Amino acid sequence: MAERYVLQMEGRTQYDFIDKGEFDTYEKCYDAADRIAAGPDYKDEDFRIVEPDTGFKQRLSAHLFQQEECPECRKTVSHHRMCRTYDCHGIPFRFVCHSCYEKIMDGKGYDGEYYTEADERIDSDY
């Protein structure tokens, strides 16, 4: 029996969910929620992914789907598709999209220094 996932969106109350589609993979279901959230009619409702065969339900909070602009490339992406960058000491700095993250963290970090695993150990007694 093939797995299937049902995408639901919050209705009038936090306990009222409306079916938005059925998908054969979890990733396709999550992507559909992302497309709905990027639309002009979306008003910060939570989503829920339900696996009917097992009864498993996962609630996806509305803040994950807030549209943000990447400070590097100026592309608008959902918050859950952004990565946090770190300076050379491993301190969290800011969020950028996946493509910019690869460029930044493979080269010099935001502070202009190369980031290595040795930078993660801040104190000797860490």
Q: Which domain holds residue 71?
A: 67-120
- Among 20, 22, 24, 23, smallest CA distance to 8 is for 20
Residue 126 lies in a domain: no
pLDDT above 60 (res 56): yes
Q: Which residue has the higher pLDDT, 114 or 60?
A: 60
Q: Residue 44's pLDDT is what?
A: 83
Domain match, 35 and 17 both: yes
Q: Tell me the pTM.
A: 0.65
Residue 8: predicted pLDDT: 92
Our count of domains for the chain comes to 2
Hey, how many other C-beta atoms are within 10 angstroms of the C-beta on 78?
Answer: 17
Helix (H) or strand (E) holding 21: strand 17-23
* Confidence band for 90, pLDDT divided at 50, 70 and 90: low
Confidence of residue 20 (pLDDT cuts 50, 70, 90): very high
Verify that 57 and 107 share a domain, yes or no: no
Residues 86 and 61 in one domain: no
In contact, 109 and 85? CB cutoff 8 Å: yes
Q: Coil, helix or strand for 4?
A: coil
What is the C-alpha separation between 123 and 126, in angstroms, rounded?
5
User: Do 82 and 47 fall into the same domain?
Assistant: no
9 shares its domain with 59: yes
Q: Determine, yes or no, domain membership for 74.
A: yes
pLDDT at 87 over 70: no
